[in-house]
Amino acid sequence: MEKNPWYCAKVSIFFKYIRTYLSADFKWAPHILAAIFLTITIWLNYQYQLYDRMTAVYYKTPMSILVYWCFYSFAFLSAVIFVSIFKEKDKPIFNKKFILFGLIGLAILSLDSSYYLLEFTGPIMPDNAYVYKWVKSLMGNLSSFVTVIVPLYVMYFTVNYFKPEFYGLQLNGAKAKNYLWLILFMIPLIYIASFRPDFLETYPTYNDNFEYRFLNTDQWKTAGLYELCYGFDFVSVELFFRGFLVVALSRFVGKDAILPMVVVYAFLHFGKPAGETISSIFGGYILGILAFQSRNIFGGLIAHLGVAWGMEYFAYLQS
């Protein structure tokens, strides 16, 4: 049977990126150490609910920002150590700029994870309790514009190191539609996961608070607006993890920026179902390679939004 050149062109670019990455001085040892580290920490977290206990104690307090920063920094610096152990002396990953900007970036991520700034939105919130919950969920997803996107671009326009790639928001000759194929590989996995009880405990993230009745509108409108805001939150996720931690920080240490990003990305999912946390390791790693090789984050944006909305859709069907 004759191969479809259009299909092959779409798919082969991903194998080319991955093959190029793996053939360029790839080392198994730091990856094995990172895998052992993540196996232990994931087991401890879900066995003893460490993340839930941590967030419950410091929820939406100034201290929560510091706690999250220590939490993410532990993941980041552990991965840096794993890579540095097997790194040649002439290419150290303990680059001062890499560590400094990495820890500054984690402070930004910690501010976003804490949701602390939402405590100051009380005066502008509606009085109706049902509408209040809905608006609060919208603001929770949109808050990353203030807590992540704005700080990152303040850094971008005040620091010359990361120019001109704009944190991966330039296509650099890549075709965004090629990345749509990534979603096709994920749809069957999402569908299977939607039957798991822990999946349905988390998804869909939209809660029916009957706000549409008090707003005198259709539920699909309030649910649809929620889903749009929910999707926006993933824009900041890709901008930070693939755009900042990989595209920007790889200017200091090259491809060695990917593994620390993956470990921190896994820690970000510790409050999600265990299966999602485990899959985030593989998904984050592949998206990190694509971002590093293509120097843009559009693959991650398309795939992440497709997977996120796919999980919502299948959860709606199950519920």
Question: 170, 178, 171, 169: which is closest to 14 by C-alpha?
Answer: 178
CB 107 within 8 A of CB 240: no
Local confidence band at 2 (pLDDT 50, 70, 90 cut-offs): very low
Q: Which two tokens stand for residue 227?
A: 């889903």
Q: Is residue 118 within 8 Å of 64, Cβ to Cβ?
A: no
Q: What pLDDT does residue 1 have?
A: 43
Q: How many CA atoms lie within 13 A of 8 on its CB side?
A: 4
pLDDT at 113: 96
Residue 5 has pLDDT above 70, yes or no: no
Three-state DSSP at 298 gives helix
pLDDT, mean over the chain: 89
pLDDT in tens, 96-120: 999 999 999 999 999 999 999 998 8
Average pLDDT of span 175-202: 79
Q: What is the DSSP string of 70-88?
A: HHHHHHHHHHHHHHHHTS-
pLDDT digits (tens, 9 = 90+) for 255-267: 999 999 999 999 9
Structural domain harbouring 289: 5-318
What is the three-class DSSP state of 196?
A: coil
Question: Averaged over 138-146, what is the pLDDT?
Answer: 96
Question: For residue 199, how far is the Cα from the chain centroid?
Answer: 18
Whole-angstrom Cα distance, residue 168 to residue 234? 15
Print burial letters for 38-56: b (CB count within 10 Å at least 16), e (below 16).
beebbeebbeeeebeebbe
pTM: 0.91
Model pLDDT for residues 190-229, shown as the tens digit of each residue: 888 888 888 888 899 998 889 999 999 999 999 999 999 9
Q: CA–CA separation, 295 vs 303, rounded Å? A: 16
Per-residue pLDDT, 106: 98
Q: How far apart are CA 241 and CA 261, in angstroms?
A: 6
* Residue count (the chain): 319
Domain count, the chain: 1
pLDDT more than 90, % of the chain? 63
Is the predicted pLDDT of residue 33 greater than 60, yes or no? yes
Q: Map tokens 């889903």 to a residue.
A: 227
Quick one: CA dihedral 269, 66, 249, 231, positive or negative?
A: positive
Three-class SS of residue 163?
A: coil
Among 12-16, 64-68, 231-235, 256-260, which stretch is predicted with the lowest mean pLDDT? Answer: 12-16
- Two tokens, residue 59: 């929820």
> In the numeric block, which tokens belong to residue 75?
């993941």
In this structure, what DSSP letter does residue 161 have?
A: T
How many other β-carbons are positioned within 10 Å of the β-carbon of residue 148?
23
pLDDT at 25: 75
